[in-house]
């Protein structure tokens, strides 16, 4: 059954815009769990413009569901992950100045690097996922790097959903099948929302986890956090 992991970066963005501790990011993480989220995702960046490394250290021992850290495996990130030992690390090739993640890894071109990183994290007992575009070759390449899972970058699916959802998901389905054939688990994230989530899960029901932050927090501004998490869980479990 697909799990919902809430990315709490946007809570930190709001806090950092004003300074102080409002909203309390740690409380937000624990409230998301209390309201039914089955995981918490954080994506610390070098400039700490949202989640800070100190947040990760504070939140890690308090989370009772699955804790997922995603980011570019630069040395400071590697050190942080090895220090706090999350349940899962998701490798994302985002540039330091990227507003948000905008592409997956080329797992063929970066095979040696990714293999070393996967080995490092897996030696600590951390499940390792590689963020990829919807391309079966990239899923097969991730398996060759020693990853446990891939996370499909779903921005193109979300962009094309309203116009022609069958076409928008076709490459994702093909890549998901390739990942399953390669023995990989499957995650998905980026621009998934109440509008497009249910169809994605129905089409690719072996998705292990979806990581959702921006849309969920936007919905929570109108609906409230607890009803919003319930609404996303309902979409995941919708028949």
Q: Give the chain's domain count.
A: 1
Look at residue 97 in the predicted model and tell me its pLDDT.
66
91 φ/ψ sector (left φ>0, alpha ψ -120 to 50, else beta): beta
pLDDT in tens, the chain (239 residues): 999 999 999 999 999 999 999 999 999 999 999 999 999 999 999 889 999 999 999 999 999 999 999 999 999 999 999 999 999 999 999 876 665 667 899 999 999 999 999 999 999 999 999 999 999 999 999 999 999 999 999 999 999 999 999 999 999 999 999 999 999 999 999 999 999 999 999 999 999 999 999 999 999 999 999 999 999 999 999 87
Spatial contact of 211 and 41, defined as CB atoms under 8 Å apart: yes
The residue from 33, 38, 43, 66 that is catalytic is: 43
The residue from 70, 140, 151, 209 that is catalytic is: 70
Q: What b/e sequence results for 123-139 when a residue is b if at least 16 CB atoms lie within 10 Å of its CB, and e otherwise? A: eeebbbbbbbbbbbebb
Which tokens sit at 43?
A: 């994506």
**Is the peptide bond preceding residue 25 cis, with omega within 30 degrees of 0?**
no
Spatial contact of 71 and 94, defined as CB atoms under 8 Å apart: yes
What lies within 8 Å, CB to CB, of 75 at 6+ separation is none
First to last CA, the chain: 12
Look at residue 199 in the predicted model and tell me its pLDDT.
98
Which tokens sit at 214?
A: 């921006």
pTM given for the model: 0.95
Range of the domain at 177: 3-236
What lies within 8 Å, CB to CB, of 112 at 6+ separation is none
70 is catalytic: yes
> Distance (Å, rounded) from C-alpha 145 to C-alpha 115?
4
195 is catalytic: no
> Distance (Å, rounded) from C-alpha 80 to C-alpha 78?
5
Residue pointed to by tokens 């932050």:
213
The residue from 33, 50, 66, 190 that is catalytic is: 190
> Distance (Å, rounded) from C-alpha 35 to C-alpha 27?
12
190 is catalytic: yes
Neighbours of 238 (CB within 10 A): 11
Instruction: Please report, for the domain that includes residue 39, its CATH number.
Output: 3.20.20.70
Look at residue 94 in the predicted model and tell me its pLDDT.
81
Look at residue 100 in the predicted model and tell me its pLDDT.
63
> Distance (Å, rounded) from C-alpha 90 to C-alpha 41?
10
């Amino acid at each position: 059954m697909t799990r919902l992991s809430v990315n709490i970066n946007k809570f930190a963005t709001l806090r950092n815009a004003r300074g102080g501790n409002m909203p309390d990011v740690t409380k937000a993480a624990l409230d998301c769990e209390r309201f039914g989220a089955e995981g918490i995702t954080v994506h610390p960046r070098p400039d700490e413009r949202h989640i800070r490394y100190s947040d990760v250290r504070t939140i890690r021992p308090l989370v009772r569901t699955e804790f997922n850290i995603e980011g570019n495996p630069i040395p400071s990130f590697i050190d942080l992950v090895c220090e706090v030992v999350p349940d899962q690390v998701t490798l994302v090739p985002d540039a330091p100045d990227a507003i948000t993640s905008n592409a997956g890894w080329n797992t063929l071109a970066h095979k040696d690097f990714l293999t070393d990183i996967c080995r490092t994290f897996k030696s600590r007992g951390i499940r390792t996922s590689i963020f990829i575009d919807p391309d079966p070759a990239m899923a097969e390449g991730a398996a060759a790097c020693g990853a446990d899972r891939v996370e499909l970058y779903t921005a193109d699916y979300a962009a094309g959903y309203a116009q022609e959802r069958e076409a928008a998901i076709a490459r994702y389905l093909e890549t998901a099948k390739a990942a399953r054939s390669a023995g990989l688990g499957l995650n998905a994230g980026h621009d998934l929302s109440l509008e497009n989530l249910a169809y994605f899960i129905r089409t690719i029901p072996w998705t292990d986890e979806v990581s959702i932050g921006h849309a969920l927090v936007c919905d929570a501004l109108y609906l409230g956090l607890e009803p919003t998490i319930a609404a996303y869980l309902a979409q995941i479990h919708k028949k």
